[in-house]
């Protein structure tokens, strides 16, 4: 019998009474579960345990020969205090959940990655203010676990950031996916921040939209299977 903390990546309706829930578990990596779902349920774990990025406890008996497991028990581990009731936080969570559902769909167990995800989401839930740049810093920091985090030590004044190679260069690349020197200088600044120091960066709606545009392009260049993100437009509107 396996028991693990987990973070919900996404849920897909299977039929009228069942939902397939993808969960990045602390001990077993990403596991797909099929769970019963009642459309009439509006409260408790039946209604919210499989919402994007919910932190849950799951117990299951591994079944060989199938990629989808059936949980013996699925319950909330750390219920959100503010995210479901705050439109901006909900938009951030929906967006990050969509990104993670594609980038971590085959991820193996990774304790450091699990701690990164849960620590950051708990901070967002508990924060009262200064989280407008959270999703940008989150995605940049996540690149460390996905294998294409830029080496900020390579930056020097006047260098250009090549989005395709994730490196700083001195010569204009022979493709359009690079940042000018001014925007390139912001890359190491953002990567050196954390969720507590990011409030020092003052971005207006236009600047934040540009930063998000760059980050999502960066992800698409390195994860070609990443589709058009449906929740992106909502997020942009919220923080405009």
The pLDDT, as a whole number, for residue 99 is: 96
Q: Between residues 239 and 60, which one has the greater pLDDT?
A: 60
Q: CA-CA distance, 154 to 93, in Å (whole number)?
A: 32
pLDDT per position as a tens digit, 28-63: 999 999 988 765 554 444 556 778 999 999 999 988
* Reported confidence tier of residue 175, pLDDT bands at 50, 70, 90: very high
Q: Per-residue pLDDT for 154 more than 60?
A: yes
List strand residue ranges (DSSP E) for the chain, in order. 2-13, 18-25, 29-36, 55-60, 68-69, 71-76, 160-162, 167-169, 178-179
Q: Between residues 15 and 223, which one has the greater pLDDT?
A: 223
pLDDT per position as a tens digit, 219-237: 999 998 898 888 988 888 8
Domains in the chain, CATH or no CATH each: 1-79 (2.40.50.140), 82-240 (1.20.1440)
Q: What value does the mean pLDDT take over residues 16-37?
A: 91
pLDDT above 90 coverage of the chain, percent: 61
Model pTM score = 0.90
Report residue 112: phi and psi, to 5°.
-65, -40
Q: What value does the mean pLDDT take over residues 163-191?
A: 93
């Amino acid at each position: 019998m396996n028991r693990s903390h987990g973070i919900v990546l996404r849920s897909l309706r299977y039929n009228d009474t069942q939902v397939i829930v993808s969960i990045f578990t602390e001990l077993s990596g990403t596991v797909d579960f099929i769970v019963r779902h009642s459309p009439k349920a509006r409260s408790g774990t039946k209604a919210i345990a499989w919402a994007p990025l919910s932190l849950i406890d799951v117990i299951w008996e591994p079944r060989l020969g199938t990629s989808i497991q059936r949980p013996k028990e699925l319950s909330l581990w750390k219920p959100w205090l503010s995210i479901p009731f705050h439109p901006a936080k909900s938009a951030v969570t929906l967006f990050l959940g969509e990104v993670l559902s594609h980038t971590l769909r085959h991820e193996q167990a990774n304790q450091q990655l699990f701690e990164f995800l849960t620590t950051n989401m708990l901070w967002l839930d508990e924060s009262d203010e200064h989280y407008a740049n959270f999703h940008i810093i989150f995605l940049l920091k996540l690149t460390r676990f996905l294998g294409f985090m830029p080496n900020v030590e390579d930056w020097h004044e006047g260098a250009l950031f090549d989005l395709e190679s994730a490196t700083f260069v001195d010569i204009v690349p022979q493709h359009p996916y690079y940042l000018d020197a001014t925007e390139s200088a912001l890359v190491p600044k953002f990567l050196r921040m954390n969720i507590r120091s990011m409030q020092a960066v003052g971005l207006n709606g236009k600047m934040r939209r540009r930063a998000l545009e760059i980050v999502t392009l960066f992800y698409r260049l390195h994860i070609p299977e990443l589709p058009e993100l449906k929740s992106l437009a909502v997020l942009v509107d919220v923080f405009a």
